[in-house]
Structure 1
Amino acid sequence: MRRHPLSLYTLLTGALAVILAAALSLTVTAESARAATTTVRAESYAAQSGVVLEATADTGGGQNAAYLANGDWLRFDHVDLGPAGRLTLSARVASDGGTGSLELRTGSLTGPLLGVIQLAPTGGWQTWVTRSTDVTTHPTGAQTVFAVLRSASPDNFANLNWLSFTGAGGDTGAGWVPVDQAKWNAQLAQFRAMTPAPVPADNVRVPEFNATCTYSHSKPDDPIVFPGLAGASHMHSFFGNKGTDAFTTTQSLLGNTATSCTPAKDLSAYWIPTLYDRGAAVEPEGMIVYYGSRLPDTTATVPFPQGFRMISGDARSQVATPAGSPNQFWCAGAGGEIGRSADGNWPICAPTAKLTYQLVFPDCWDGKNLDSPDHKSHVAFTYDGKCSGAYPVAIPNVSFVFTYPTTGASGALSLASGMASSIHGDFFNAWDNDALGHRVKDCIIQRAKCNSAGTF
């Protein structure tokens, strides 16, 4: 049965959705334009059949196309598919039941098939994931694109928030960066030949190890998003490799042995937007980078290749995050949260507690690229406890946990990227292969809790 279109969420956030929808009817951001990515919001259709719009709980707000069933379709005009070459088709989707597919066709409902994206339950009608597929040939330039839903069931089975079309870019950090297969195969062979260390009988059986880091430095640089462009970004607080700046590369990270993290063999770079209190920077007193696994079967997990990079979060998200919102800042310590800031977006902590955030990264990889044009399309979050399809490789589930020496009581907090909802983080891997491999083998695959030294 089809759900009633006027959900409580729609009623409560409809006004915000109207504002955001007008601003986001067709979005090609400055970053994505550099990266040859065209992103089309679902609500920007030129024509449709069977579609109802509702306010979305997805990052960035706006509206999603809801209650989609077999045969429903949306038409988008003037979609730039770019020049000839590989093209990644991605759809931001949510589903509470049913399986099917999303056909993308050009010209008409029965026109040439551009590609097919497989759809499956995500865990909820507002639990959003990105599904992707690659095509090697496609029409070029501006096209009329039809998104057609297919399912063996007559019931609605999917919601759609946006589509993106990403062409192959250069290997300078702004596009697809293919992994060196020879080096990757050698790293995998070394990893698979490792003998796991015996786990003590009293060990806590949690698949986890960590790097414990202190604040290193701040710069308005981002070597993943704006490589080689010093000062092009908002201010970031850096952890780990002390040489990180706009010109950072894999080679420069491996060549600079000064790090603010333990262990010393982790030369990776980690960064987040700087926090401000009434215009004064508040640097975290520390960050713990956890490497773990959310998979029921951890044995397929492999280390990151050197030079791997990814981003979690969205610097463009500027939406309210009142108490109870997902992915919000919280108070760690005795007393916890005792109030909210004047705008409701930040917790006020007890004097014995401190402002904290945990940022979680995707845990499945396409196995082909160290980076992608949007720095996210080469990775995905597992939605069913497995890594499969376009993202078959299980990688450690990275999360940043950072704590600030403030209770937030002044009520004038902001991020360099804007509102609290814009929190995001970058990871640029430069672990020593042997050190990382042993930790994955000993701690994650054996489901054993390890410390920063990689021991039990």
Structure 2
Amino acid sequence: MKSTLLALAFAASSQAALRFGCSSISIQRLDPLVEPGRIPSAHVHQIVGGNSFNATMGSGANNDIADRATCTSCFFSEDFSNYWTAVLYFKARNGTFKRVPIKANSALEGSTDGMTIYYTQKDFNSNGNAKITAFPPGFRMTVGSPTTTEKSDVVNGLSYTCLQNINTRGSETQEFPTKPCPAGIMAIHHFPACWDGKNLDSPDHQSHMYSTTKKGTFVEAGPCPASHPVRMPQLAYETIWDTTKFNDKSQWPADGSQPFVWSMGDRTGYATHGDYVFGWKGDSLQKAMDSSCMFQACGNGKPLLSQNAAAINNCKVKSTINEDTEGWLTSLPGAM
């Protein structure tokens, strides 16, 4: 990405693309996709979207979470999907940990923290000649792995930007930035967009999908293969971690190494990962992909319904786990 996404949004002949904010509904140790029913899960997640999120969300085509949710923390009020990632912590020189706060991205309505969500087509200039098929009810997937330890194993589309300002784009790395970032660290998750057309999920939550994502871009690298022939929206997350509160290098490790760690204990950044459970109401997402609207201009019934800041930020899920994830901690939640 050599220029900002906002600039790309106004390129000529654009087809539909959604860019919107979702506030956090919960920060706790639950993972109904990878660890269904386990309370608590192995590590802390930050979750946005619909309030039907819980430890056992079910699966299958008849499992439509949009029917169970009563609110969503996303700008588009018909989106009851759930989106989640690991949580970033700062490890001080004295060995204690503190959760890094999240801040909203630029040019978004309503959300105060959480994530920026994208559903794009071929790229920001065209959807080509291919039909973009919305995810069906019961669809789920993940990208990345919390056990990745080698840079060579990091999949395309997972990266970090050391923000010089809120609109910095480009210069992405697959590992955590090694110097203090003036405006925070943006973690980026691009999901695969080619579906096998049959399975709503797979045992590893990834094999039913195929990625044509180029490194660091919203542009597909090539056509979908015969094994995964159905082109779906390119789903992506951006999370801005406000690391500016921890830019005092006197608190960093004595050896000068970077001090940030994912909630599962990864200090390299290679183990970043994201989870997704589809939950759009009815055919609303398909209507958006069939339209020519861009970003939040797709709201107010054109063609999607949207909601105000109060509704976005009032939707929450009560924590089911009684443990501290805030303040200065002697160990990461769940650490043995």
TM value normalised by structure 2 = 0.64
- 1:8-407 mapped onto 2 (5 Å cutoff): 205-249=14-58, 250-278=63-91, 279-285=97-103, 286-294=114-122, 297-319=128-150, 327-334=158-165, 345-351=176-182, 353-382=183-212, 385-407=222-244
Structure-2 separation of matches of 1:385 and 1:293: 13
Report SS of the residue matched to 2:118. Answer: strand
Deviation at 1:251, TM superposition (A): 4.0
Structure-1 separation of matches of 2:66 and 2:18: 21
Change (3 A) 1:333 1:242: farther
Task: Give the AA of the match of 2:228.
Answer: Y
Structure-1 separation of matches of 2:73 and 2:297: 13
Task: Answer 1 or 2: higher relative contact order, Cα 8 Å, separation at least 6.
Answer: 2
Structure-1 separation of matches of 2:81 and 2:190: 17
Identify unmatched segments of 5+ residues in structure 2.
1-9, 92-96, 104-113, 170-174, 213-219, 253-257, 304-336
8 Å CA contact retained: 1:307, 1:429:
yes
Deviation at 1:204, TM superposition (A): 6.0
Change (3 A) 1:213 1:326: closer
Deviation at 1:424, TM superposition (A): 0.5
Q: Which string of whole-angstrom CA distances, capped at 9 and with x for unpartnered residues, describes residues 37-57 of structure 1? A: xxxxxxxxxxxxxxxxxxxxx
Structure-1 separation of matches of 2:231 and 2:157: 25
Task: Give the AA of the match of 2:136.
Answer: P
TM value normalised by structure 1 = 0.48
Deviation at 1:253, TM superposition (A): 4.7
Deviation at 1:384, TM superposition (A): 5.6
Q: Tell me how large the CA RMSD over aligned residues is.
A: 2.9
Structure-2 separation of matches of 1:233 and 1:314: 13
Report SS of the residue matched to 2:163. Answer: strand
Identify unmatched segments of 5+ residues in structure 1.
1-200, 338-343
Structure-2 separation of matches of 1:241 and 1:268: 6
Task: Give the AA of the match of 1:413.
Answer: F
Structure-2 separation of matches of 1:452 and 1:376: 32
Q: Which string of whole-angstrom CA distances, capped at 9 and with x for unpartnered residues, describes residues 376-412 of structure 1? A: 0000013762223110111001000111122352542
Q: Which string of whole-angstrom CA distances, capped at 9 and with x for unpartnered residues, describes residues 96-120 of structure 1? A: xxxxxxxxxxxxxxxxxxxxxxxxx
Deviation at 1:349, TM superposition (A): 4.1
Structure-2 separation of matches of 1:227 and 1:204: 43
8 Å CA contact retained: 2:81, 2:279:
yes
Specify the structure having the higher radius of gyration (Cα): 1
Deviation at 1:347, TM superposition (A): 4.0
Structure-2 separation of matches of 1:227 and 1:275: 22
Among all aligned residue pairs of Structure 1 and Structure 2, give the percentage whose two residues are the same amino acid: 27
Report SS of the residue matched to 1:400. Answer: strand
